[in-house]
Chain A
Amino acid sequence: MQRFSGLDLFLRALGRHQTWKPQWREPEPKAAYDAVIVGGGGHGLGAAYYLAKEFGLRNIAVLEKGWIGGGNTGRNTTIIRSNYLFDESAALYDHAVKLWEGLSQELNYNVMFSQRGVLMLAHNIHDIQSFKRHVHANRVNGVDNEWLTPEQVKEFCPALNVGPNMRYPILGGALQRRGGTARHDAVAWGYARAADALGVDIIQNCEVTAINRDAQGRVSGVETTRGPIRTTKVGVSAAGHTSVLMQMAGLRMPLESYPLQALVSEPVKPAFNCVVMSNTIHAYISQSDKGEMVIGAGTDAYTSYSQRGALHIATHTLDAICELVPMFRRLRMLRKWGGIVDVTPDRSPILAKLPVPGLYVNCGWGTGGFKATPGAGHLLAWTMAKDEPHPINAPFTLERFRDGRLIDEAAAAAVAH
Chain B
Amino acid sequence: MSAPFRLAQGGRIDRARPLGFTFDGKSYSGFAGDTLASALLSHGVHLTGRSFKYHRPRGILSAGADEPNALVGVGRDQTRYTPNLRAPQVELYDGLVAESQNRWPSLSFDIGAVNDLFGRFLPAGFYYKTFMWPRKAWDHVYEPKIRAMAGLGRAPTAADADRYTQRYAHCDVLVVGAGPAGLAAALAASAGGASVMLCDDQAEFGGSLLSETTATIDGKPAAQWIADTVATLRGRANVMLLGRTQAFGYYPHNSIGLVERLTDHLATPHPDMPRERLWTLRAREVVICAGALERPMVFPENDRPGIMLAGAARTYANRYGVKAGSRAVLFTAQDEGYRAALDLARAGVHVAAIADLRPNPDGELPAAARAAGLNIMAGTTVTGTRGRLRVSGATLGRLGLDGQVGQSQTIACDLLLMSGGMTPSVHLFSQSKGKLRFDETIKAYVPGQSAERERSAGACRGIFGLAAAIEDGFARGEEVAQAVGRAGGAVTRVAVTTLAAAPGVHLGAAPHDRDAATVKAFVDYQNDVTAKDLALATREGFRSIEHIKRYTTTGMATDQGKMSNMNALGIVADALRRDIPEIGLTTFRPPYTPVTFGAFAGTSRGQLFDPVRQTAIHGWAADHGAAFEDVGLWKRAHYFPQGGEDMHAAVARECKAVRAAVGIFDASTLGKIEIVGPDAAEFMNRMYTNAWTKLESGRCRYGVMLREDGFVMDDGVVGRMAHDRFHVTTTTGGAPRVLAHMEDYLQTEWPDLDVWLTSTTEQWAVIAVQGPNARKVLEPLVEDIDISAAAMPHMSVRQGRICGVPTRLFRVSFTGELGFEVNVPADYGRAVWEAIYQAGLAHGITPYGTETMHVLRAEKGYIIVGQETDGTAVPDDVGLGWAVGKAKKDFVGKRSLARAEFSKPDRKQMVGLRTRDPHDVLEEGAQIVANPNQPVPMTVLGQVTSSYFSAVLDHSIAIAMVRGGRARIGETLYVPMPDRVIAVTVVDPVFFDREGVRLDA
Contact = CB atoms under 8 A, between A and B. Distances in A.
B898 to A, nearest CB: 9
B317 to A, nearest CB: 30
B492 interface: no
A132 B80 CA distance: 39
Contacts of B710: 404
Nearest to A403: B901
B870 A411 contact: yes
Contacts of B601: 315, 318-319, 321-323, 329
Nearest to B595: A333
Contact of B151 (A68, A91, A113, A267): A267
A405 to B, nearest CB: 5
A69 B160 CA distance: 38
Interface stretch (B129-137, B288-296, B397-405): B129-137
Given A168-B609, A327-B160, A404-B710, A319 B600 contact: yes
B953 interface: no
B530 to A, nearest CB: 11
A223 interface: no
Interface stretch (A54-62, A136-144, A206-214): A136-144
A329 B924 contact: no
B630 A168 contact: yes
A326 B160 contact: yes
Given A136-B923, A318-B597, A91 B133 contact: no
B590 interface: yes
Contacts of B133: 5-6, 105
A124 interface: yes
Interface footprint category on B = 35 or more
B929 to A, nearest CB: 7
A354 interface: no
A166 B918 CA distance: 38
A386 interface: no
A115 B940 contact: no
Interface string B638-649: 000000000000
Nearest to A315: B600
B937 A141 contact: yes
A291 interface: yes
A67 B586 CA distance: 12
Interface string A81-92: 000000100110
A104 B609 CA distance: 42
Given A23-B541, A266-B558, A330 B128 contact: no
Interface string A400-417: 001111101011100000
A127 B918 CA distance: 27
Interface stretch (A13-21, A43-51, A237-245): A13-21
Contact of A269 (B120, B153, B733): B153
Contacts of B52: 267
Nearest to B143: A114
Contact of A408 (B155, B515, B872): B872
B838 interface: no
Contacts of B542: 23
B123 interface: yes
Contacts of B925: 129-137
A123 interface: yes
A332 B594 contact: yes
Query: How would you classify the secondary structure of chain B's contact residues: helix, strand, loop or mixed?
Result: loop
A251 interface: no
A269 B517 contact: no
Nearest to B251: A311
Interface in B127-150: 127-133, 135, 138-139, 143, 146-148, 150
A16 B249 CA distance: 42
B123 A13 contact: yes
Contacts of A334: 558, 560, 591, 594
Contacts of A68: 547
Contacts of B127: 110, 112
B293 to A, nearest CB: 18
A167 B608 contact: yes
A193 to B, nearest CB: 9
A117 to B, nearest CB: 11
B260 to A, nearest CB: 15
A291 B598 contact: no
Contacts of A390: none
Nearest to A290: B150
Contact of A17 (B152, B532, B609, B866): B532
A185 interface: yes
Given A87-B940, A168-B609, A319-B609, A13 B927 contact: no
Contact of B150 (A108, A133, A291, A402): A291
Contacts of B938: 140-141
B927 A137 contact: yes
Contacts of A290: 150-151, 553
B99 interface: no
A24 B751 CA distance: 57
A93 B147 CA distance: 27
A91 B937 contact: yes
A28 to B, nearest CB: 14
B346 interface: no
A6 B82 contact: no
A151 interface: no
Contacts of A10: 121
Nearest to B131: A110
Interface string A318-347: 111111001111111111110000000110
A113 B135 CA distance: 11
A108 B132 contact: yes
Nearest to A337: B589
A136 B926 contact: yes
A139 B978 contact: yes
A109 interface: yes
11 contacts: A5-B130, A6-B129, A17-B532, A21-B540, A133-B943, A140-B937, A268-B153, A270-B151, A332-B597, A404-B901, A404-B902
Interface of B: 52, 80-84, 120-121, 123, 126-133, 135, 138-139, 143, 146-148, 150-160, 162, 249, 251-252, 255, 257, 278, 280, 431, 433, 515, 517-518, 532, 536, 539-544, 546-547, 550-551, 553, 558, 560, 587, 589-591, 594-598, 600-602, 604-610, 612, 629-631, 709-711, 733, 866-867, 870-872, 896, 899-902, 923-927, 929, 936-938, 940, 943, 976, 978
Given A104-B138, A125-B629, 7 more contacts: A26-B541, A102-B135, A130-B925, A132-B925, A308-B433, A336-B249, A404-B902
Interface of A: 4-6, 8-10, 13, 16-18, 20-26, 66-70, 74, 87, 90-91, 102, 104-105, 108-110, 112-115, 123-126, 129-137, 139-142, 161, 165-168, 183, 185-186, 189-190, 204, 265-271, 281, 287, 289-291, 306, 308, 310-312, 314-316, 318-323, 326-337, 345-346, 402-406, 408, 410-412
Q: Please list the 6 inter-chain residue pairs (A to B) with the smallest Cβ-Cβ separation, ordered nearest first.
A: A22-B541, A133-B925, A411-B871, A291-B151, A404-B899, A332-B594
